[in-house]
């Protein structure tokens, strides 16, 4: 994420004296990636960020692939799910996974977290399917709403507060590696190119600091190695008076993604929005269909030979699918062809536009349905192409 940002008060030079009103030093913290070779930010604390009061017993926080699930096209029906758990962490249900990423849903009953969370296992991409609220982190306050992708770098300490009224539903993707803007849409110094489907104006970093100065007992639950480790600190982790750098959480609305269209059907890479180790994320948004006089708007049949493809259906009606609802997942695996359902190709001819919204995950290693995901499997889906 080659985009410099700063908030609050910082000294003129890094790693130099920066004193509080009482004459004591602010405590500088470097948050860096790839050791000291990747993007980073410098933060300035009122208190020592290592002030640990107690460490609780770790508890398991992981998911397992379903055994002997077999090779089959899959539909996970989650449309009818109202809530998936009491709080934010217990409500995170991972439905599919491999060694590079995990994907699932989160619909918590509670709208306000009474603790902080830090994911030390990977970056997170959260798509706000329903809801509106605020992400508080040591980098400041980030207001989020329906349709937002929220990119949260590994080890960010955060909590959510969601508005009480209305539904709340999140799509969760956890990545073993960094989640980044698309390399082919960046120039040699990292700026998004003129023909990129979104630009820096569309990216929303934290807009203001949220500094919590008080001391006390503050719980941070840290995910590491498939366990939750409870750490209690003697002050809030949001005791930041200023920071600057390139590493921080940010939001990008799917509604700000500008689709690339053509005379004939465009392949999914034109919809790519993010990249990571071992997978990509694409956004299908309202757009005009192909305008060749003989164009077929419905996608052609496709055989993935080295990737698995997941579509999460957010809004609208996909003209190539039958029996798919808002909140459905389809998983089309490498080794099997997939394509439009019978009758949908002819029906699509002459259509001028679509109002669909969907998030796509394409992985380059096999993706496995989890034991949790088995609860949502549509057993009829593999045979749904039958004439």
- Binding-site residues sit at 302, 308, 338
- What distance separates the 2 farthest-apart alpha carbons in the chain? 78
Sign of the Cα torsion 239, 245, 247, 252 reads positive
How far apart CA 297 and CA 263 sit, in angstroms, is 10
Alpha carbon of 13 to those of 10, 38, 56, 348: distances in Å?
8, 20, 38, 60
Residue 74 · residue 375 · CB < 8 Å = no
What is the structure's pLDDT at 2?
64
DSSP state of 345: H
Domains annotated on the chain, with CATH? 5-53+210-243 (no CATH), 85-207 (2.60.120.10), 255-383 (2.60.120.10)
What is the structure's pLDDT at 39?
94
Compute the radius of gyration of the chain from its Cα atoms. Answer: 22
- Binding-site residues for Fe cation sit at 302, 308, 338
pTM: 0.96
What is the structure's pLDDT at 93?
97
Number of H helices, E strands in the chain: 1, 30
Q: Which two tokens stand for residue 313?
A: 């259906």
Which residue has 């104006």 as its token pair?
A: 201
Q: Which two tokens stand for residue 161?
A: 């507060």
**265 included as an active-site residue:** yes
DSSP state of 201: G
What is the structure's pLDDT at 1?
56
What is the structure's pLDDT at 321?
82
CA 341 and chain centroid, separation:
29
What is the structure's pLDDT at 227?
98
- Binding-site residues for homogentisate sit at 338
Q: Tell me which residues of the chain have a pLDDT lower than 70.
A: 1-2
What is the structure's pLDDT at 318?
76
Catalytic pick among 265, 271, 332, 341: 265
Residue 84 · residue 91 · CB < 8 Å = yes
């Amino acid at each position: 994420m080659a985009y410099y940002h700063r908030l609050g008060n910082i000294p003129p030079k890094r790693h130099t004296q920066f004193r509080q009103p009482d004459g004591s030093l602010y405590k500088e913290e470097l948050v860096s990636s790839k050791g000291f070779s990747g993007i980073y930010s410098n933060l300035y604390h009122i208190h020592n960020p290592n002030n640990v009061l107690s460490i609780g017993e770790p508890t398991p926080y992981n998911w397992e692939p379903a055994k002997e699930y077999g090779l089959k096209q899959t539909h996970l029906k989650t449309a009818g799910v109202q809530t998936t758990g009491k709080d934010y962490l217990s409500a995170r249900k991972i439905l599919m996974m491999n060694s590079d990423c995990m994907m699932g849903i989160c619909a918590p009953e509670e709208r306000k977290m009474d603790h902080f969370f830090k994911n030390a296992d990977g970056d997170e991409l959260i798509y706000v399917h329903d809801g509106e609220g605020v992400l508080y982190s040591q980098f400041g306050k980030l207001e989020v709403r329906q349709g937002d992708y929220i990119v949260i770098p590994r080890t960010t300490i955060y909590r959510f507060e969601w508005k009480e009224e209305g539904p709340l539903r999140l799509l969760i993707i956890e990545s073993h590696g960094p989640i980044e803007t698309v390399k082919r849409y960046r120039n040699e110094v990292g700026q998004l190119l003129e023909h990129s489907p979104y630009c820096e104006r569309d990216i929303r970093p934290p807009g203001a600091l949220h500094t919590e100065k008080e001391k006390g007992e503050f719980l941070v639950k840290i995910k590491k190695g498939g366990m939750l480790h409870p750490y209690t600190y003697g002050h809030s982790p949001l005791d930041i008076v200023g920071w600057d750098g390139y590493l921080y959480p940010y939001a990008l609305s799917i509604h700000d993604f500008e689709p690339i269209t053509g005379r004939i059907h465009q392949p999914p890479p034109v919809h790519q929005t993010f990249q990571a180790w071992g997978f990509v994320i694409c956004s299908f948004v309202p757009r005009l269909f192909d305008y060749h006089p003989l164009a077929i708007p419905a996608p052609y049949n496709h055989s993935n030979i080295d990737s698995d493809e997941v579509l999460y259906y957010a809004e609208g009606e996909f003209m190539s699918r039958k029996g798919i609802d808002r909140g459905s997942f389809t998983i089309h695996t490498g080794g099997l062809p997939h394509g439009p359902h019978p009758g949908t190709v002819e029906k699509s001819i002459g259509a001028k536009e679509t109002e669909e919204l969907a998030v796509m995950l394409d992985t380059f290693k096999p993706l496995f349905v989890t034991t949790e995901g088995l609860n949502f499997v549509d057993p009829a889906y593999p045979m749904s192409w039958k004439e």
